[in-house]
């Protein structure tokens, strides 16, 4: 049986989406593999490429959220091992790892909305449809997500005072 080609975005982009939703490399890989196994024979039935994208992202998101509900992943530890404590700056630049960790702490649907928006999978109208909200609510959700993420990153960068 021949299956329809996978739609754009690429598998790497689907993986990044799963990683943003699960917060774990191993879990994202497993969720993506399980989702692709599940949908391999069904994707050919979806007629348009945009429809295949939306359908696949919905299945991937559902599986990620189900996985997070069953066993919420622990937040990764922010331990730097590439330098000694005396060499480390008081305030670190925002690193990709920190951004990913803080992104993962966003609540739903803010996390999914922001991931879909910044990974550039769909238009605003398509994202709103996927998340079952109108475009005005999506706009408010994106604004809230950006604000929450910004607060979280600012808090993470504040130097901690030591107690003696």
Say which CATH number the domain at 59 has: 1.20.140.160
Q: For position 141, what pLDDT does the model report?
A: 95
* pTM reported for the whole predicted model: 0.66
Residue numbers of the chain with a pLDDT score lower than 50: 1-7, 73-83, 88-93, 164
- Cα separation values, 155 from 15, 21, 80, Å: 28, 21, 18
In a domain, 153, yes or no: yes
pLDDT at 94: 54
Whether 105 contacts 21, CB under 8 Å: no
Domain residues for the domain of 103 are 11-74+82-157
Confirm whether 1 is domain-assigned: no
The per-residue pLDDT for range 27-49, each reduced to its tens digit, is 889 999 998 888 877 777 777 77
Within a domain: residue 86? yes
Only one residue has tokens 């799963």, namely: 18
Give me the pLDDT at residue 42, please: 79
- What's the number of domains the chain is made of? 1
| Tokens describing residue 19 | 């990683």
Average pLDDT over the chain, rounded to an integer:
76
């Amino acid at each position: 049986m021949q299956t329809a080609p996978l739609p754009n975005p690429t598998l790497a982009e689907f993986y990044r989406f799963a990683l943003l939703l699960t917060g774990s490399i191993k879990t994202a890989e497993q969720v993506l593999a399980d989702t692709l196994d599940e949908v391999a024979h069904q994707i050919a039935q979806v007629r348009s490429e945009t429809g295949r994208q939306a359908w696949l992202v919905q299945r991937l998101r559902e599986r990620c959220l189900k996985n997070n509900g069953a066993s919420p992943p622990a937040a990764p530890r922010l331990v730097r091992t590439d330098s000694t404590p005396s060499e480390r700056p008081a305030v670190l630049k925002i690193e990709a790892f920190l951004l990913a960790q803080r992104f993962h702490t966003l609540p739903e649907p803010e996390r999914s909305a922001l991931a879909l928006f910044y990974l550039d999978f769909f238009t605003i109208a398509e994202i709103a449809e996927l998340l079952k909200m109108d475009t005005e609510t999506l706009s408010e959700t994106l604004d809230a997500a950006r604000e929450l993420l910004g607060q979280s990153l600012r808090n993470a960068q504040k130097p901690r005072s030591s107690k003696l």
